[in-house]
């Protein structure tokens, strides 16, 4: 078996048994990145030197008997997470030359556990998009079909994990940006409860919706990485002061009898037939495990996309105001300060970002605030109530992730409304601040399809348990994308000491 085929959990075992060193492993993955990324374009920055240093530090720690959950295992970060001394572009021209001078809290936690940061991955500019086509630099390919998009906005991270360029990666999810690309790339994705992971150092798109999420090969890896990064942070007032369970240990616990909620409104009109069929099959898999299904109705869910596309741009218009060319990032010279601001922003931001800034500015303007922003917030409360109601009887909710399989590059780029529709099953989860887990559940026309389990607030344990049960019963998550010819990655036999 080749090195890159191992999951993070396998790698951890190999590292602990000293069957491999972190430096060897890191070299192998770096090699694979350099061989594959010309075609895939998942990375904006590959932090080769830093990765090797971190790997050496991890080996040293192992040598001294200091072990950790994620130590020595390569990891990729979406390019909106701050790593001290490393560019943090957010996929935007306006931050092309910006180097973060501090570490995000998650990065600090990963560094303290000797994780190995391999690089920063491509993304839709400022996390706005559903295809990674809004990156100012290039478009990432879907490992299952390079002519298709990997999803967005964490498309780079999803593609890197799916192509086995890293065992796992972090992304961010504001309206589905971890779950949708995980689905498109056929991997496991988790958007945790809002407040479970500190947002400090995650460049904000829409503060009340953003949450750092995990892209991995299976639910066990997901639990491992979550354990390393979750928990309260004094630097993020919205991070929750609740004890972090040992997710890894929880997976070994008894499964229990779950009731799965099926939201009627999720299975109407726009859902692709192939996807509908696969999700229904998945529901039967759960039933086969002795769990019961329960039909529930979400009367307000149809307003979720509209309210998301009011709240997110409103917050974004404010969060992105700091990029004006005066302190860092792109500066276009001009006669006056205001025209310098205008020119820098005109040149630095792409079309989608400008579109959302304008929408947000409009809906927050005096005279429109009540009609749009305030109303959207009220809808948000109602959507939350729909979920609360369902959770009285259901352990979690089973839903689609996307209405269609991965679309072709360029297919939706000139039709923003159609693009926005690809978030239809994911945004309500962010509006309600809930956790959502995405699991591969089959293939449609050779392309991966996934299901989504939506859990109660801070009940990641139940979600991951259910997900683990599903992955024990199925093998969709074990399929490799057809990347063609053998790509170097090293094998365990060669590198065994």
Partner 1 sequence: MSPEIIIGLEVHVELLTESKLFCGCSTKFGNPPNTNVCPVCLGLPGVLPVLNRKAVEHLIRTACALSCTIAPRSKFDRKNYFYPDMPKNFQISQYDLPLATAGKLSIVTAGGEKTITIKRIHLEEDTGKSVHKGTIDCSLSTLEDYNRAGVPLLEIVTEPDMRSPEEAHVFLTGLKDILRWLAVSDCKMEEGSLRCDANISLSPGDGVLGTKTEIKNLNSFKSVREALEHEAARQQKCLASGIAIVQETRGWDEKKSVTIPMRSKEAEYDYRYFPEPDLLPLEPGAQWIREFREALPELPAEKRERFVRDYRIPSYDSSVLTSSPAMADFFEATVRCGASPKAGSNWLMGDISRILNDKSLSLDETPLTPGRLAGMIDLVEKGTVSGKTAKSLIEEMLATGKDPLEIVKERGLTQISGEDAIQALVIEVAQANTEAMHSLRKGNEKVRGFLVGQVMKASKGRANPSMVNKVLDGLLGALPLPEARQDEDDHIRG
Give me the active site residues, please.
78, 153, 177
- Residue 198 C-beta: closest distance to partner 1, Å: 8
Residue 85 is a binding residue for partner 1 (CB under 8 A) = no
Pick from 2, 67, 236, 248: which binds partner 1 (CB under 8 A)? Answer: 236
Residue closest to 191 by CA, chosen among 209, 206, 203, 179: 179
| Residue of the chain from 29, 62, 184, 200 that contacts partner 1 (CB under 8 A) | 200
Residue 341 binds to partner 1 (criterion: CB under 8 A)? yes
Question: What does DSSP say about strands 396-400 and 259-263: parallel, antiparallel, or unpaired?
Answer: parallel
102 binds partner 1 (CB under 8 A): yes
Hey, what long-range contacts does 238-245 have (CB within 8 A, 24 or more apart)? 238/194, 238/195, 238/199, 238/207, 239/195, 239/196, 239/197, 239/198, 239/199, 240/193, 240/195, 240/196, 240/458, 242/458, 244/196, 245/460, 245/461
Site for partner 1 contains 90 (CB under 8 A): yes
Q: Contact letters (x/-) for partner 1, 42-81, by CB under 8 A?
A: --------------------------------------xx
Exposed, middle or buried, 389 (CB in 10 Å: 0-12/13-18/19+)?
A: middle
Tell whether the torsion through CA atoms of 459, 465, 466 and 470 is positive or negative. Answer: positive
Q: Binding-site residue total for partner 1 (CB under 8 A)? A: 44
In the complex, minimum distance from the CB of residue 291 to partner 1, in angstroms, rounded to a whole number: 36
* 95 in contact with partner 1 (CB under 8 A): yes
Binder of partner 1 out of 13, 16, 235, 472 (CB under 8 A): 235
Residue 312 in the binding site for partner 1 (CB under 8 A): no
Q: Which of 91, 201, 433, 490 touches partner 1 (CB under 8 A)?
A: 201
CB 168 within 8 A of CB 188: no
Q: Does 315 bind partner 1 (CB under 8 A)?
A: yes
Closest C-alpha among 377, 488, 494, 408 to residue 31: 488
User: 324 or 423: whose CB is closer to partner 1?
Assistant: 324
| By the rule CB under 8 A, 88 interacts with partner 1 | yes
254 part of the interface to partner 1, by CB under 8 A:
no
Is 337 a binding residue for partner 1 by CB under 8 A? The answer is: yes
Of the listed pieces 94-102, 290-298, 411-419, 437-445, which binds partner 1 according to CB under 8 A?
Answer: 94-102
65: alpha, beta or left? (left if phi > 0; alpha if psi -120 to 50): left
Kindly state whether residue 467 participates in binding partner 1, applying the rule CB under 8 A.
no
Nearer residue to partner 1 within complex by CB, 83 or 434? 83
255-288: burial string, b at 16+ Cβ within 10 Å, e else: eeebebbbbebbeeeebbebbbebbeebbeebee
């Amino acid at each position: 078996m080749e090195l890159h085929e191992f999951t993070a959990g396998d790698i951890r075992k190999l590292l602990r048994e000293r069957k491999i060193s972190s430096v060897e492993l890191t070299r192998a993955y770096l090699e694979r990145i350099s061989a594959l990324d010309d075609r895939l374009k998942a990375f904006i920055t590959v932090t080769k030197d830093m990765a090797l240093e971190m790997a050496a530090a991890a080996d040293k720690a192992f040598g001294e008997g200091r072990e950790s959950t994620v130590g020595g295992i390569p990891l990729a970060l979406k390019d909106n997470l701050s790593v001290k001394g490393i560019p943090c572009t957010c996929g935007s021209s306006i931050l092309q030359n910006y180097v973060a001078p501090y570490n995000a809290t998650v990065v600090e936690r990963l560094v303290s556990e000797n994780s190995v940061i391999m690089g920063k991955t491509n993304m839709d500019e400022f996390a706005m998009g559903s295809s990674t086509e809004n990156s100012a630099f290039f478009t990432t390919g879907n490992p299952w079909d390079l002519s298709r998009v990997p999803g967005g906005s964490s498309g780079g991270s999803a593609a890197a994990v799916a192509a086995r360029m890293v065992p796992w990666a972090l992304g961010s999810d504001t309206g589905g940006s971890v779950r949708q690309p995980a689905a498109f790339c056929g991997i496991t994705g988790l958007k945790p409860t809002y407040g479970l992971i500190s947002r400090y150092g995650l460049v904000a798109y829409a503060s009340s919706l953003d949450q750092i999420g995990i892209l991995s090969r299976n639910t066990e890896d997901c639990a491992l990485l979550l354990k390393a990064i979750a928990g309260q942070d004094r630097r993020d007032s919205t991070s929750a002061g609740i004890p972090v369970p040992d997710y890894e240990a929880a997976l070994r616990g008894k499964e229990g009898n779950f009731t799965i909620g099926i939201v009627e409104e999720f299975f109407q009109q726009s859902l692709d037939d192939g996807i509908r069929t696969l999700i229904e099959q998945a529901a039967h898999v759960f039933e086969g495990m002795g769990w019961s299904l329960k039909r529930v109705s979400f009367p307000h869910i149809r307003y979720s996309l509209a309210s998301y596309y009011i709240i997110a741009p409103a917050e974004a218009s404010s969060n992105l105001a700091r990029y004006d060319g005066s302190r860092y990032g792109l500066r276009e010279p001009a006669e006056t300060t205001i025209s310098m601001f205008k020119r820098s922003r005109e040149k630095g931001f792409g079309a989608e970002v400008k579109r959302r800034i304008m929408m947000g500015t409009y809906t927050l303007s005096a005279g429109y605030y009540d009609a749009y922003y305030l109303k959207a917030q009220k809808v948000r409360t109602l959507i939350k109530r729909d979920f609360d109601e369902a959770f009285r009887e259901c352990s979690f909710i089973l839903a689609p992730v996307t209405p269609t399989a991965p679309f072709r590059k360029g297919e939706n780029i000139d039709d923003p409304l159609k693009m926005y529709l690809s978030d239809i099953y994911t945004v309500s989860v962010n509006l309600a601040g809930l956790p959502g887990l995405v699991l591969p559940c089959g293939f449609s026309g050779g392309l991966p399809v996934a299901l989504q389990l939506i859990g109660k607030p801070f009940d990641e344990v139940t979600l991951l348990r259910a997900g683990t049960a599903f992955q024990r019963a199925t093998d969709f998550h074990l399929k490799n994308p057809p990347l063609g010819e053998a790509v170097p990655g090293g094998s365990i036999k060669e590198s065994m000491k």
